[in-house]
Amino acid sequence: MTAPLTTSPAAPGAAPGPGNGNGAAPAPATPAARFTAGLATTPGRLALATTVAVVACLLLGVTGFLAGSSQSAALRDAQRDAAQLVGTQELRNDLVSADATATNAFLVGGLEPAEARARYEASLSEAAQAVPSLAATARGAGEAADLATISDSVQRYAGLVESARANNRQGFPVGAAYLDQASAALRDEVLPTLDEVSVSTSERVDDDMGSVSLAQALLLFVLLGLVALGAVQLWLARRTHRVLNTGLAAASVALLVGGVVATAAVLGGNGVARSVASGPYAATVATSQALSLATDAKSMESFTLIKRGSGADFEESYQTSLAGAQDLLVEAQDAVGGDTGSQDLLAAWDAKHAEIRELDDGGNWEEAVDAATSTADDSAGAAFAAFSDSAHAEVETTSMAAVDRLGSAATTALIAAWVALVLGVAGAVAATAGMNVRLKEYR
């Protein structure tokens, strides 16, 4: 006999349902799975391409803006610090010039010539006015404190010179001692501090020039944005079999113009910084330092006569300062690429100094003093004045050239930064509009 067919009972708790053999509901899709599924469709890929195009446009705009604006700021810093350095060196020159004039006038004895007194007061007045101005624009509390110390030391120097002048008018030998103290205070307290300020400012200028070149690194992102947008266009042309998309074409033009503008401005600004650093700025620093050394040599010339037979050390200092000034003028000439004229004038004054030394060494001290203090057209004083005026004019010309070129480059870089940003945003809008046209075709 055949056994009857039976149906096995269903497992407890199981209910029939769609999607699987045991009736369980399907697991929900993860975001990653939904994203991957979306990329499998043409609309999904078009949406991704739209995002890439927009990011590429904004990348170029933002990095172009950062490159231009950062370089503009670095150029402005270099412009300000270069002007600060020139001002500091001019302050040093004014003080050394005042000392040279006071020392030379001391040789006359009694009441010094009115012209020499006027030059001394003019140099000291310019120095006194320059100190607070430089302190106001100093970067860092240390430099401001140093300049405040210099102001106090200059006042003490002026007081010692007045004491020397008063005693010299009455024929008291102690006047020479006061003059020695004044000159020592200037060279031991003021000038070394000024030199420290100059060194720190010069280092900042070098750092500023280095920051100018760093902006070039951002141009790589500008190139990346152009490449990404080009890749989107190529993919779209192959996908849709249409060569031109108006929106993407407009975005490409905007990015190309923005990229060219930003690149040209940044590379041009870097070129300006390098040419200024090796050209007018280098010439300014070298000429200003040469003027300071030559003026110091002028003081040494007077001291060799004041010491009457015991001024060999001062003559040695004269020769050292003069040699340094000559070397610096050669550097300035190389920087500007032509004869500055000051070298010949310095040589002419040195020839007059040789005549003074010949008179003094030959026992004609009074004649040597007359030659050193004379203001005639063919005198040593006139020769030095001609050199000094020429050097001052060269410093003013080259410093203005350096400041103007750095300022112009900074303005150009900032304009280019805004152009790149505006065109980057415009390109993003145009790219979105162009891609939306294709997206609508699949909806």
pLDDT at 45: 74
pLDDT at 290: 93
| Residues 6 or more apart whose Cβ sits within 8 Å of residue 222 | 59, 60, 63, 64, 67, 259, 262, 263, 420
pLDDT per residue over 245-303, tens digit each?
777 888 888 888 888 888 899 899 999 999 999 999 999 999 999 999 999 999 898 88
Distance (Å, whole) CA 242 – CA 236? 8
Distance (Å, whole) CA 305 – CA 357? 9
pLDDT per residue over 290-307, tens digit each?
999 999 999 898 888 887
Distance of CA 180 to the CA centre of its chain: 39
pLDDT at 8: 44
Q: Which amino acid is at 9?
A: P
- The pTM of the full predicted model, rounded to 2 decimals, is 0.77
* pLDDT beneath 70: ranges in the chain: 1-43, 109-112, 236, 239-244, 309, 437-443
